[in-house]
């Protein structure tokens, strides 16, 4: 894809020339129009005489803010009526535990477990650092886990790497009657690998709920919510600032046998999806300001449309990957092309010294947050929804100039 052919665009009003190009993996860039609306209303929200930062979550005004945010997200993602939308705290880390605790308390899962006569296992697809963290948390809580796959083994070194996925025929899926749920992270922000939705859900028996962490690619393209038991997502990538986690969960998975005293004994209220669902996400003070900003981002996404946002994500990432592919001896892509993330693009340069120079010179040209995750190194450019095409173009022009100056 040439720079001139990249026609998909966020409106020019979303570009401010006195701001840097922020390629952070999260908290990430937000739409400029959203930030400007927040700025206008910061001291006096819609004539109410106070900021949302100061507003009681029990007030009618804030009640409208949170209900409108939920309704907008439901429209944008076409969330079916038999799913609840919850605004929670605790981030993705909290949901590692919450997903396990809530699913194991679910009435249908407990009935399956009683029929089996022993504890059900939890299937985990491990494609990188975040799915591995989810697996560890379930083990820490006493869950029985079945690792469906754990990266791929390097033919050269024999080490496990997170740069591809094995074919489904090699997966170690548990028996449906012995499995409580399957958990996976669709986009790994550290390792830059993105697993296509159908690649997983087509492989899993419909009797096994699929729980998906979509923290870093939610709202970037249309998805069929009905194919999932639950979706969990931290807001600070595509949906808003840090501080709120959104859970979309099928309502039958919130059903419990209230005659069983063991059901909720081990679920802290802060992690209990039913507790939040029964109180419409406000059993206590929610992250009010973060939810308010998320609601504005949802409206921004609705105005553009998910189809347009998907085109933008493919155009942005395509520009960068084309440059990587054109000079593989210099820009070494780390991920199998079939599974390369459109959100978090990772690569290395021939030496660490060149990588440090690349990051430094990019910063001099107002391109920041390009250093790879501390566990992986290299370069990582994150291209979330609010990043205009011009940001990707600017980065690719820099890549080309840096290559021409430093290639041996």
Domains of the chain: residue spans and CATH: 12-23+305-406 (3.90.1150.10), 52-302 (3.40.640.10)
Query: Could you list the pLDDT tens digit for every one of the 408 residues in the chain?
Result: 666 555 566 766 677 778 999 999 999 999 999 999 999 999 999 999 999 999 999 999 999 999 999 999 999 999 999 999 999 998 888 999 999 999 999 999 999 999 999 999 999 999 999 999 999 999 999 999 999 999 998 777 778 899 999 999 999 999 999 999 999 999 999 999 999 989 999 999 999 999 999 999 999 999 999 999 999 999 999 999 999 999 999 999 999 977 776 676 789 999 999 999 999 999 999 999 999 999 999 999 999 999 999 999 999 999 999 999 999 999 999 999 999 999 999 999 999 999 999 999 999 999 999 999 888 889 999 999 999 999 999 999 999 999 999 987
The active-site residue out of 21, 130, 273, 300 is: 130
Angle CA 70–75–77, to nearest 5: 95
What is the chain's length?
Answer: 408
Q: Distance between CA atoms of 236 and 375, rounded to whole angstroms? A: 20
Cα angle 28, 32, 33 (rounded to 5 degrees) comes to 135
Residues 6+ apart with CB under 8 A from 407: 327, 330
Are 329 and 92 within 8 A, CB to CB?
no
Given this model, what pLDDT does residue 12 score?
65
pLDDT for the residue 15 = 73
Catalytic residue among 21, 123, 132, 237: 237
Hey, what are 306's tokens? 């998910």
CA atoms of 345 and 116, how far apart (whole Å): 44
Which helix (DSSP H) or strand (DSSP E) does residue 74 occupy? helix 60-77
DSSP E strand stretches across 229-303: 230-234, 245-250
* β-strand partners of 380: 346
Q: Is the peptide bond before 193 cis (omega within 30 degrees of 0)?
A: no
pLDDT for 13 equals 66
Catalytic site includes residue 213: yes
β-pairing, 152-153 vs 160-161, is antiparallel
Q: Using an 8 Å Cβ cutoff, are 182 and 121 in contact?
A: no
Side-chain-facing half-sphere of 395: CA atoms under 13 Å: 30
Nearest CA among 344, 321, 286, 301 for reference residue 28: 344
Enclosing H/E stretch for 267: none
* List 21, 132, 213, 299, catalytic entry: 213
Distance, CA of 232 to CA of 216 (rounded, Å) = 10
Compute and round to an integer the Cα radius of gyration of the chain.
22
What 8-state DSSP symbol labels residue 170? G
- The first and second tokens of residue 152, run together, are 């791929």
The overall pTM is greater than 0.85: yes
pLDDT at residue 9, as a whole number:
66
- For residue 346, give both structure tokens: 């990772």
At residue 99, the pLDDT reads 97
Strand pairing category for 160-161 and 121-126: unpaired
Give residue for tokens 């931290």. 234
């Amino acid at each position: 894809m040439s720079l001139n052919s990249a026609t998909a665009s966020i409106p020019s009003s979303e570009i401010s020339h006195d701001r840097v190009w922020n390629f952070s993996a999260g908290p990430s860039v937000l739409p400029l129009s959203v930030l400007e609306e927040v700025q206008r209303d910061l001291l006096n929200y819609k004539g109410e005489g106070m900021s949302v930062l100061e507003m009681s979550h029990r007030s009618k005004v804030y009640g409208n803010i949170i209900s409108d945010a939920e309704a907008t997200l439901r429209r944008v993602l076409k969330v079916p009526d038999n799913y609840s939308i919850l605004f929670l705290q605790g981030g993705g880390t909290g949901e590692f535990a919450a997903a396990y605790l809530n699913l194991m308390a679910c009435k249908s899962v407990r009935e399956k477990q009683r029929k089996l006569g022993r504890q059900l296992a939890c299937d985990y697809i491990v494609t990188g650092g975040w799915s591995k963290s989810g697996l560890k948390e379930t083990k820490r809580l006493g869950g029985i886990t079945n690792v469906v796959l754990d990266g791929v083994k390097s033919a050269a070194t024999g080490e496990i790497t997170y740069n591809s996925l094995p074919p489904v025929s090699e997966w170690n899926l548990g028996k449906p009657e012995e499995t409580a749920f399957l958990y996976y992270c669709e986009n790994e922000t550290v390792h830059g690998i993105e697993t296509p939705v159908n690649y997983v859900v087509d492989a899993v028996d419909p009797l096994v709920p699929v729980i998906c962490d979509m923290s870093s690619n939610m709202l970037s393209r249309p998805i069929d919510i009905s194919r999932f038991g639950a979706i969990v997502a931290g807001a600070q990538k595509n949906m808003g600032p840090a501080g709120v986690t959104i859970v979309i969960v099928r309502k039958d998975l919130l059903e419990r046998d209230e005659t069983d005293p063991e059901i909720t004994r081990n679920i802290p209220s802060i992690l209990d999806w039913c507790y939040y669902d029964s109180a419409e996400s406000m059993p206590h003070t929610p992250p009010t300001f973060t939810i308010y900003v998320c609601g504005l981002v949802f409206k921004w996404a609705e105005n553009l449309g998910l189809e347009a946002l998907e085109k933008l994500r493919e155009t942005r990432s395509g520009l960068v990957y084309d440059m990587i592919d054109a000079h593989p001896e210099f820009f070494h892509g780390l991920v199998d092309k079939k599974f390369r993330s459109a959100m978090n693009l990772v690569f290395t340069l021939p030496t660490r010294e060149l990588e440090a120079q690349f990051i430094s010179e990019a910063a001099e040209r107002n391109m920041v947050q390009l250093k790879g995750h501390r566990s992986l190194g290299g370069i990582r450019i994150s291209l979330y929804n609010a990043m205009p095409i011009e940001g990707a173009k600017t980065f690719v022009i820099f890549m080309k100039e840096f290559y021409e100056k430093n290639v041996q």
